[in-house]
Amino acid sequence: MLGGGDLVASPTALTLHVTALGETREGRSLTRAGARPGDVIAVSGTLGAAAAGLRLLTERSAGLRRHAATTADLLIAAHLRPEPRLGLGALLLERGATAAMDLSDGLLGDLPKVLAASGVAARLDADAMPVAAAVRALFPSDWLELATRGGEDYELLFTAPPSVFDTIREAATGIGATVTVVGEVVTPLAGMPAVVIRGLDGVERPVAAGAFDHFG
């Protein structure tokens, strides 16, 4: 097993990379390839905080004032010091999740990877996205864009049968984590997009894949 995939670029700074090598116990692992039609699509924590923090840092360097809000430091910390959900990852494997991956490249950047590996499609609900109140307040026009395409959240994206999701949610609460259903896995249809999202207006629309780009 290879843990890593770090892609960075800098014109001046010294960059150190660490690669972890190892193997799973008894060959047990949770991959991107197990999602099945009928599964729920869920995420841990909240989405968009890290992207909002990066936006605030960029605005501060440009002399803008939104970073002075009392909640700005929380969002900046989410970008600078993310906390990987290691305990939750192990819990998902034990409690019956069917597929999972980390959300480093945004929901609409990473979910298509799960869908492609599993040979399925997805229907998302914009109104169900768990977005921190600070993100909604400071970015009222584009909080949904930050949540779905921002990246660097390092939360977990996973799928699971509805029959086991409540068990996962209860167990996650026991370790101080939260999980939220944001959509469902569906059977792919010829000529149809891999991802459809029900907007805040209640209308379903196809949505293009793609989110955070390290070199964009």
CA distance 55 to 84: 21
191 DSSP assignment: T
Backbone angles phi, psi at 158, to 5 degrees: -150, 165
DSSP 1-59: -EE-------SS-------EE---GGG----STT--TT-EEEEES-SSHHHHHHHHHHH
pTM here is 0.89
What distances in angstroms separate CA 100 from CA 42, 78, 115, 134, one per listed residue? Answer: 9, 21, 11, 27
Tell me the per-residue pLDDT of 22-37, one tens digit each, with 9 for 90 and over: 887 777 889 999 999 9
CATH class of 31-47+84-206: alpha beta
Domain boundaries along the sequence of the chain: 31-47+84-206
Q: Is 4's pLDDT higher than 70?
A: no
- Band (pLDDT 50/70/90 cuts) for residue 212 is low
Tell me the per-residue pLDDT of 164-173, one tens digit each, with 9 for 90 and over: 999 999 999 9
